[in-house]
């Protein structure tokens, strides 16, 4: 069963609520084919063309984060109810990760509980940072405690905030460079703070082949002793406690590096729909079967890893 774990869904109604919450970058997501109605029908046809049986929907990076606690909580409920409605209508085609109203910790815990217990969502999605604050900030520890208690999935996606660097944002590099840098920073923050070992029941799924992590694991192992000596285990060991989607824009060398670095069993099919659409979407799936990839690894990534990770099928 082919399950695409990295696929987005946004209706205009939801994006309008984000504008009310203070978001200023929702225009990019409008009219991309990631909405409801005919856009949902076209998505399903594309999935068939690519041989994808199911998508796990997520609202990240357009999550209901905002300073207004009540408005953020209401918006999170709104989008989670939307997603639950789609899943009820198409249970064989879609499942969903829940959104939370960060940075409001108690509201986020309440909403993730409602989404998992009442709406039947399959895990939780968060951005790699919250308004420039790392997820490993002690203030957010109760969320990790709750996720670990529940033994659920935490899917992380870049915020699209240039890794808080003008060197990225002021040079038109937000998604080309900034997004995988945010992935990389987030993963290393999780590792140096011992999150994978401290919370072993959380299944952490990182985006985009882990950003630059496949190229940095040995460097991190070599330098962690003097730069982050309190790290509880080798970065390469901690990295292999987590999972990574295969969004690599069809670049086979990057996929091979991730397989060699993390192991094929840690990779799950992802496409980044609708940013990868049409022929590019099909390529996002087909490149895993490239002759340069071991056929057994390709089969695991395409057919079995996500089912085991998600507990589907």
Q: Which residues contact 246 (CB under 8 A, 6 or more apart)?
A: 209, 255, 258, 267, 268, 269, 270, 284, 288, 301
d(CA 107, CA 101): 7
What is the per-residue pLDDT for 164? Answer: 87
Find the range with the poorest average confidence among 119-133, 171-185, 215-229.
Answer: 171-185
- Give the model's pLDDT for residue 70: 97
Integer Cα distance of 223 and 207 in angstroms? 24
- 230: Cβ contacts below 8 Å, ≥ 6 apart: 192
Percentage with pLDDT > 90 across the chain: 89
pLDDT at 193: 97
Give the predicted TM-score (pTM) of the model.
0.96
Q: Does the structure show a pLDDT above 90 at 190?
A: yes
160 pLDDT higher than 90: no
Token digits of residue 118:
């009442």
Give the mean model confidence (pLDDT) for residues 178-189.
95
Q: How far apart are CA 277 and CA 270, in angstroms?
A: 12
pLDDT tens, position by position, 267-298 = 999 999 999 999 999 999 999 999 999 999 99
Kindly state the average pLDDT of the residues 236-262: 97
Of residues 161 and 300, the one with the higher pLDDT is 300
The domain 3-310: what is its CATH number?
3.20.20.140
In this structure, the strands spanning 243-245 and 267-268 are: parallel
Query: What residues does each domain of the chain span?
Result: 3-310
Q: How confident is the model at residue 30 (pLDDT cuts 50, 70, 90)?
A: confident
Asked if residue 143 has pLDDT above 80, the reply is: yes
Q: CB atoms < 10 A from the CB of 225, how many? A: 10
Is 80 exceeded by the pLDDT of residue 123?
Answer: yes
Distances (CA, A) of 147 to 2, 141, 175, 301, 309: 26, 10, 28, 25, 15
| Confidence band of 186 (pLDDT split at 50, 70, 90) | very high
| CA-only gyration radius of the chain, Å | 18
Average pLDDT in the chain:
95
Residue 207, SS3 per DSSP: coil
Q: pLDDT at position 178, please?
A: 79
In which band, very low, low, confident or very high, does the pLDDT at 32 lie, cut at 50, 70 and 90? confident
pLDDT tens digit string along 56-114?
999 999 999 999 999 999 999 999 999 999 999 999 999 999 999 999 999 999 999 99
Collapsed DSSP state (helix, strand, coil) of residue 61: coil
Residue in the structure block whose two tokens are 């292999």: 240
At which residue do the structure tokens 């029908």 appear? 41
Query: Is the confidence at residue 162, as pLDDT, over 80?
Result: no
């Amino acid at each position: 069963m082919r399950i695409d774990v990295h696929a987005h869904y946004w209706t205009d109604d939801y994006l309008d609520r984000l504008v009310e919450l203070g978001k200023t970058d929702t225009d990019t997501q409008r009219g991309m084919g990631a909405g409801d109605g005919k856009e949902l029908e076209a998505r399903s046809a594309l999935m068939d063309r690519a041989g994808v049986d199911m998508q796990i929907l997520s609202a990240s990076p357009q999550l209901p984060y905002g300073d207004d606690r009540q408005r953020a909580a209401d918006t999170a409920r709104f989008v989670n109810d939307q997603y639950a409605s789609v899943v009820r209508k198409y249970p064989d085609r879609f499942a969903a990760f829940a959104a939370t109203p960060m940075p409001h910790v108690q509201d986020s815990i309440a909403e993730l509980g409602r989404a998992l217990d009442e709406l039947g969502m399959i895990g939780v999605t968060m951005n790699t940072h919250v308004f420039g604050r790392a997820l490993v900030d002690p203030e957010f520890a109760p969320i990790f405690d709750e996720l670990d208690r529940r033994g659920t999935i935490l899917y992380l996606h870049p915020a699209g905030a240039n890794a808080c660097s003008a060197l990225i944002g002021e040079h038109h590099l937000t998604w080309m460079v900034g997004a995988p840098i945010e992935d990389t920073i987030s993963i290393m923050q999780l590792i140096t703070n011992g999150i994978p070992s401290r919370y072993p029941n959380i299944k952490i799924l990182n985006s985009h082949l882990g950003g630059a992590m496949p190229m940095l694991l040995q460097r991190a192992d070599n330098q962690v002793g003097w730069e982050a000596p309190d790290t509880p285990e080798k970065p390469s060991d901690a990295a292999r406690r987590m999972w990574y989607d295969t969004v690599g824009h069809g670049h086979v060398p990057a996929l091979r590096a991730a397989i060699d670095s993390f192991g094929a069993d840690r990779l799950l099919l992802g496409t980044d729909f609708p940013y990868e659409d049409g022929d590019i979407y099909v390529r996002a799936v087909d490149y895993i079967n490239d002759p340069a990839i071991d056929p057994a690894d390709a089969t695991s990534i395409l057919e079995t890893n996500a089912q085991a990770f998600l507990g589907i099928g």
